Chain A
Amino acid sequence: MRLEYFEMIDQVESFDRAAKRIVTCSTVPAESPVFEGHFPGHPLVPGVLLTETMAQASGYLLLGLNHLTQMPFLMMVDKARFRTFVEPNAVLDVSAELVHEGSGYAATKAKIAIAGKPICDAELRFRLMPFPADMHVLMQARLKAIGLSPEAA
C-alpha cells in the first residue's frame, strides 16, 4: 500500500467470477507523508483513503469481470461506515462483490476487515466508460502487479 501514490491494493487473494467477488489484501505502511498531517503524533488512515481502497478493490473486480473492456470510474459512495481506527502496519482484508450490473454502470458492496473484525463498509457505484488513452496499458500492468492475471480476468 502506497498511500501517497494511491496504490491501495497490494495483492489479490481470490477472484471468483461466478460469485462476482474479489478478496484482496493490503498492509498499511509504517510511515507515510499522509500521517504527518493525519494526525501529527497520532497516525491514522483517513476515511477517504479507506473509501478509495474499497473503490479500488471494486474497480479491479469490475475490470476482471469485464475483461478490461471498460474502465470503472467511481461515481457514488453510499452508506459508508467507518467502525474503528486504522493505524500504521495494519493488515487489511479488502473485499468487494458486484450487486448490480447496469448498462454503463455497476454497483458493488465493499468492506475492509482486520483479522476478521469489520473496519468499514460502503455501497459504491461506478460509471463504466471506454478507456482513456494509455489507461488500458496502465491497468493491465496494475492487474499483473497485484496478481490478477489477464488470463484469469
Chain B
Amino acid sequence: MSATFETVAGIISETCDIPREKITPQSHAIEDLGIDSLAFLDIAFAIDKAFGIKLPLEQWTQEVNEGKAPAEQYFVLENLCKRIDDLVAAKVA
C-alpha cells in the first residue's frame, strides 16, 4: 500500500477513533467508515497540513450533489489517495 494511504489511514484512525485495521484502500469513507461531513472536514484539515495541499472539498461535494461525479470517485480511500497524489504532484510541478 502507498505511503499516502498509510498517512491517510492513520489520520482517519486517529481523528475518528476508528481501529486502523478496519481501514482499507477499498473503504468508502462515508458508507463503510461512517464518517460524517463534519468529521470529514476534520480529516481534510489534517490531510491539508500533512501534504501541504488544499483538498477541493467544496468542488467535489458540488460535483457529487449535481450528479456529475459518483461519490466513490472521491470518498473511496484509494481514489482519495490518488487525488491527494495528483494535488501534491501539481504543487511540485
Measured CB to CB, the residues of A under 8 A from B are 75-76, 100-105, 107, 125, 127
**Interface SS majority for chain B:** helix
Measured CA separation A116–B26 after assembly (Å): 52
Contact A104 B57 (CB under 8 A): yes
* A103–B58 CB distance below 8 A: yes
Measured between beta carbons, the chain B residues less than 8 angstroms from A105 are 41, 44-45, 57
Known: A104-B57, A105-B41, A105-B44. 17 other contacts (CB 8 A): A75-B38, A100-B45, A102-B41, A102-B54, A102-B55, A102-B57, A103-B44, A103-B54, A103-B57, A103-B59, A104-B41, A104-B44, A104-B58, A105-B45, A107-B45, A127-B38, A127-B41
B63: interface (CB < 8 Å): no
Q: Which of B47-78 contact A (CB under 8 A)?
A: 48-49, 54-59, 61
Q: Is B42 an interface residue (CB 8 A)?
A: yes
Q: Total interface residues on B, using CB and 8 Å?
A: 14
B47: nearest chain-A partner, CB-CB: A102
Question: Which residues does B use to contact A, with CB under 8 Å?
Answer: 38, 41-42, 44-45, 48-49, 54-59, 61
B44 in contact with A100 (CB, 8 Å): no
B60 to chain A, nearest CB (A): 8
Chain A residues near B41: list those with CB within 8 A.
75, 102, 104-105, 125, 127
Shortest beta-carbon distance from B71 to chain A in Å:
16
B58 to chain A, nearest CB (A): 5
Asked whether, in the complex, the Cβ of B38 is within 8 Å of the Cβ of A102, the reply is no
Q: Which of A75, A100, A104, A127 is B49 in contact with, Cβ under 8 Å? A: A100
B-side contacts of A101, CB under 8 Å:
54
